[in-house]
Amino acid sequence: MKLLSRGTIVVITIMLLTGFFLATPSLKEVFEEDFLIGAAINNRQVDGEDKQAVALVKEHFNTITPENMLKWERVHPKPNAYNFQPVDNYVALGKENDMFIIGHTLVWHQQTPSWVFEDEKGNPASKDTLLNRMQQHIATVAGRYQDKIDGWDVANEALNEDGSLRQTKWSAIIGEDYLSRAFTFAHDAAPNAELYYNDYNLWKPSKREGAIRIVKKLKEKGIRIDGIGMQGHYSLTSPPIDEIEASILAFSRLGIKVMVTELDIDVLPRPGNQGADLNESFGENAEYNPYPNGLPDAVQKQLAKRYTELFALFHKHREKISRVTFWGVADHHSWLNNWPVRGRTNYPLLFGRDFQPKPAFEAVIRQGKEG
């Protein structure tokens, strides 16, 4: 038998002492006693083409959300045409890996085809026509995945920043009760699934109060709502941790589940406001793309610090939070590469473009172990 050289023995000893041979901790296992840990996934991942991303999803996450495939324009692009194959694959991936499966989203003013709101002549549809289309869409889509999809974002981003109801074609044609109708239709189609309201900037006091009003109005009417999804589209410095905490506490007092959804951290400067309003979009601009060749160490440390603060808060309120979902798997999957400024190189997630964990990942793991 060939003996190892002294040098080889020294190298192996160092590797063992530094934990080189230890497997990367799994996010879902570290937070198993706290809350579900999820990721939004795309078509290439559910089709199995992006094998490295799928491996990360299976290893680290126990809940998944579809990034785009269940939005109206993708799943129901024409009046009598549905595209269910990507969603079928998505649901199959979740079921095969015993994941909590989210449906995103049934009613939204964005990414909904124009025909939904129009008659055959291109004029605004009548209230009855639009209600009928909403009901049929929800019955068909949510009904198809009854007892397969575990929770639905029934309504998405229905509030203005001041907490008032956003003026959209839904509210203009149907009226303010379009939300109550959407939740009623969703309950009828998927009575065993959880039903949520999902929005960004819910850390703002005014918008927080608007979401509280939505929940209270639905409950006063006897309409079921099971939770609020607080979209976590944050930056390195905003929003303040205490405002996020205030919303977690306020929503939990309503007797519903609180979820952190769509979590990512924009590390780049941006024009416009904090949030996720798709109407705020800008062309390519080098001023807002300062790190095209890699994130400087100093910014990596800032990102890790920010995730540390967030997960310290989430762990503190683990009895109130049911789920934390990242909006993407690895940095190159993130929508923040193209929004609000197109063509940027952004670094908002825990895994880099090489699919390797970043310092931010290690920071999150520490919070789970030490929190």
Residues with catalytic annotation?
Answer: 157, 262
Contacts of 3 (CB under 8 A, 6+ apart): none
**C-alpha radius of gyration, the chain, whole number:** 22
Element of type H or E holding 85 = helix 85-96
Tell me which residue of 145, 157, 167, 123 sits closest to 75, measured CA to CA.
145
SS3 173: helix
Token pair belonging to 291:
């790190």
Q: Which residues of 238-270 are buried (b: 16+ CB within 10 A; e: fewer)?
A: ebeeebbeebbebbbebebbbbbbbbbbbbbeb
SS3 321: strand
Distance (Å, whole) CA 201 – CA 219: 23
